[in-house]
Structure 1
Amino acid sequence: MSKSSGTSRYPGLTPTKDNLDAEQSVQHEYLANITKKVYNGTIVTQNPDESMAGPFNILLYTPTMAQPWCNLQLATAGLLPPVEAESAVLGVLSITRAVYGIYAHTILAQKAGFTLSQVEAMLAGDCPSDITERQSAIFKLAVKLAQMRGPLDSVSFNEALFVLGRDGVTAAIQQSAAFMHAAILLNAADVGLPNSVE
């Protein structure tokens, strides 16, 4: 993984640099608070200069999107048990290769219950044989969703439907779609590792 190379695309917005307008300042405080509450220091979401890391700094450039985006991410993450949600995220990351996402979800997926070797295999696009049938179905569906250009093929949909049921498939699709949004933000802004991460 690489250090952040995207700072020139979206320079860090922070109170200490006095480069936030009034609306951005409100959303910076919101993002700083919500990320501390959700992640509790598990991953770096704020750089030493108080600028936000990951997708959060980019959100400040469209401040009306900050809270709705966070609400969407939190709502979709709650549709599945954490380890299943991470199955979808890892499937998406195996295709998008978003650097900050790989950093963050290597940690978060282990916290949810995967081993490091399982996470590494999934990020490489390989489905481990020692994960559950549901985790495997979600991972494979997420990979297909991240790859698709046009409608999802019937075989992939029906394979997931057989294991997950319609509600489970829908939850996996929602989680994958929400994380695709995050991955697109990260890759478009060329966001790498937080400044404090080696």
Structure 2
Amino acid sequence: MSRYPPIPPSQLNPEQHAAYDDASQTAQNIFGDKFIYKNNDDAFIGPFGPLLYTPNMVDPFFKMVVEVGKCPGLPAAAKETAILATGSTFQAGYELYAHGKVAASTSLTEEQIASIKDGKKPDGLDKACQVAFDVAIELSRKQGPLSDETFARAEKTLGKEGTAALFHYVTSSPQRLLSSTFMSQE
């Protein structure tokens, strides 16, 4: 249940409506039909709905999503592994739902996806996904910097660019932040 209920387009003020129109186009371009991000009233759901309460944040939010998505060096399955592992720590339900759908289009199996969503490292992950899982879990569950050992494994496996991209996905997930902040525990 959202603490900030979805706002149907018919109830948006002009500033919200302009942000809604821009966000609708951007969301379609980025996500297509990979997962549901609007309800039957065409109101944004998940982490996207609360954005319309602060329409000035819609554009920066989607710009960040787009720019992080352009980071090179991180294979799609490793990216989704990192997002799901981090989401599992924060119990970010919508993030786990949406990225579970996206992860299904990668080399990850349904069993691996379910395990990662439960915060457990599954068998059979390739090296990039193993590192992505380990980095995500370590960074999201402890205070302080990533251990030297885990950092060295990440750089050896993913290179500097891939490791930097991985850090972006783990530490700056706007969907996770919004989802875990605005959704109630009920």
TM-score, structure 1 as length reference: 0.85
Gaps of 5+ in 1: 193-198
Equivalent position of 1:63 in the other structure: 55
Label 1:124 to 1:93 Cα distance change in 2 as closer, same or farther (>3 A).
same
Task: Identify the residue that residue 11 of structure 1 maps to in structure 2.
Answer: 5
**TM superposition shift of 1:154:** 2.1
Q: Does 1:82 align with 2:76?
A: yes
Deviation at 1:44, TM superposition (A): 0.6
Cα contact 2:139–2:145 (8 A) shared by 1: no
Q: Secondary structure at the match of 1:111?
A: coil
Are positions 1:149 and 2:140 aligned together?
no
Instruction: For residues 10-63 of structure 1, give each alpha carbon's deviation from its aligned partner in whole angstroms, at most 9, with x where no partner exists.
Output: 1222222x2x22221111111222222222222111111121011111111221
Root-mean-square deviation (CA, aligned residues, Å) is: 1.7
Aligned mates of 2:95, 2:106 — CA distance in 1: 15
Structure 2 distance, partners of 1:59, 1:129, is 37
Q: Report the equivalent of 1:189.
A: 182
Spell out the pairing of 1:109-128 with structure 2 (5 A cutoff): 109-128=103-122
Tell whether 2:115 aligns with 1:129: no
CA offset at residue 168 of structure 1?
Answer: 1.6
Distance 1:112 1:178 in 2: 22
Matched, 1:22 2:6: no
2:98 to 96, 104, 122: 104
Task: Report the Cα distance in structure 2 between the residues aligned to 1:124 and 1:36, rounded to whole angstroms.
Answer: 29
* Cα deviation, residue 191, structure 1: 6.5
Q: Distance between the aligned counterparts of 2:86 and 2:69, measured in 1?
A: 14
Structure 2-normalised TM-score?
Answer: 0.90
What residue in structure 1 maps to residue 88 of structure 2? 94
**Counterpart amino acid of residue 27 in structure 2:** T
* Inter-partner Cα distance in structure 2 for 1:122 and 1:50: 31
CA separation in 1, counterparts of 2:57 and 2:151?
31
Q: Which has the higher contact order (CA 8 A, sep 6+)?
A: 1
Kept after mapping to 2: 8 A contact 1:73/1:178: no
2:9 corresponds to which letter in structure 1? P
Alignment match of 2:152 (pick from 158, 178, 181): 158
The answer on 1:40 being equivalent to 2:14 is no
Aligned length: 183
